[in-house]
């Protein structure tokens, strides 16, 4: 039986927090829009009620993946052992949450601070990140979880900004459950077109984010989605594909400011989500 792409929606399309009310709004919104799963941001995994979350996922018949980015206080590229230890602790806790809710995929900027660095990474910074990802991969692997490291633009990390750099980085990590995570929003800034990175990653592409150049409605910005989806078909990609969009209409106290979400690009979460799913399915 041919494996089919699973489509998901980022929780911030519907809700900015993970209270019982917000979790129900996000999970039910993703289910009613027709998504297979919801991607939950685990910036503070200690706040997530795993039983409540799992019960809601079961109630609405979808599953969950997770994403997160590190902060300066948890940056595993740091030369401060206490900051690296805090990063390890955060990643392990997030992994425990994913396992408790039945998830099989973690993604995002797990390998560095999610933010602009004042200069390039040193050899020590990179080596510390690689070592942390080896520890994270081993911990996640024991729980049956894949780790996909998101390639983001130069203003959000100094470790990996292109798919080619992402492949070289996971080569250094050298773990079977570690993959590259590509995001069309970041590719539109950094890559030579929308196909090359997909094609060179091939079966080492483990997760995909679909986001428009301004983070709004798909097809209303500058991203060449037709070329991107054609490249996914060319490599027979059959992994998770998550729609990611941000607007000041839905605010996460930490992530919205980190990602500079100042504009109100949409206000109707359900219309946005249904439009995105139809748009993606039409191209795949």
β partners of residue 183? 209
Q: Which two tokens stand for residue 226?
A: 């037709």
DSSP assignment letter at 162: S
DSSP state string for 78-92: -S-HHHHHHHHHHHH
d(CA 77, CA 79): 7
Please tell me which residue in 124, 156, 244, 282 is annotated as part of the active site: 244
Q: Which residues contact 160 (CB under 8 A, 6 or more apart)?
A: 111, 149, 151, 152, 166, 169
Pairing of strands 205-210, 178-183: parallel
CB 37 within 8 A of CB 63: yes
Nearest in space to 66 (alpha carbons), one of 181, 222, 151: 181
CB 94 within 8 A of CB 42: yes
CB 25 within 8 A of CB 15: yes
If phi > 0 it is left, if psi is from -120 to 50 it is alpha, else beta; for residue 198 that is: alpha
Please tell me which residue in 59, 124, 150, 282 is annotated as part of the active site: 150
Residue 150: active-site member: yes
Q: Which residues are catalytic?
A: 150, 244
């Amino acid at each position: 039986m041919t494996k089919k792409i699973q489509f998901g929606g980022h929780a911030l399309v519907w809700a900015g927090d993970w209270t019982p009310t917000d979790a129900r709004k996000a999970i039910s919104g993703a289910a009613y829009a027709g998504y297979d799963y919801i991607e939950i941001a685990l910036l503070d995994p200690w706040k997530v009620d795993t039983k409540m979350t799992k019960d809601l996922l079961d109630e609405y018949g979808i599953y969950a993946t997770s994403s997160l980015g590190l902060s300066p206080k948890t940056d595993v590229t740091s030369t401060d052992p206490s900051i690296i230890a805090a990063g390890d602790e955060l990643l392990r806790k997030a992994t425990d949450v994913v396992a408790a809710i039945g998830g099989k995929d973690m993604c995002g900027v797990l390998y560095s601070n999610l933010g602009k660095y004042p200069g390039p990474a040193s050899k020590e910074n990179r080596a510390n990140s690689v070592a942390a990802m080896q520890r994270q991969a081993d911990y996640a692997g024991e729980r049956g979880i894949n780790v996909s490291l998101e390639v983001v633009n130069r203003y959000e990390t100094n470790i990996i900004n292109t798919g080619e750099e992402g492949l070289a980085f996971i080569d250094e990590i050298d773990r079977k459950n570690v993959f590259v995570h590509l995001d069309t929003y970041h590719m539109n800034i950094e890559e030579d077109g929308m196909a090359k990175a997909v094609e060179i990653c091939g079966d080492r592409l483990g997760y995909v984010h679909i986001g428009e150049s301004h983070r709004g409605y798909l097809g209303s910005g500058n991203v060449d989605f037709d070329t991107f989806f054609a490249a996914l078909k060319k490599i027979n990609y059959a992994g998770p594909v998550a729609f990611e969009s941000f607007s000041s209409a839905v605010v996460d106290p930490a992530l919205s400011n980190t990602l500079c979400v100042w504009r109100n690009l949409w206000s109707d979460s359900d219309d946005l989500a249904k439009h995105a799913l139809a748009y993606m399915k039409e191209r795949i």
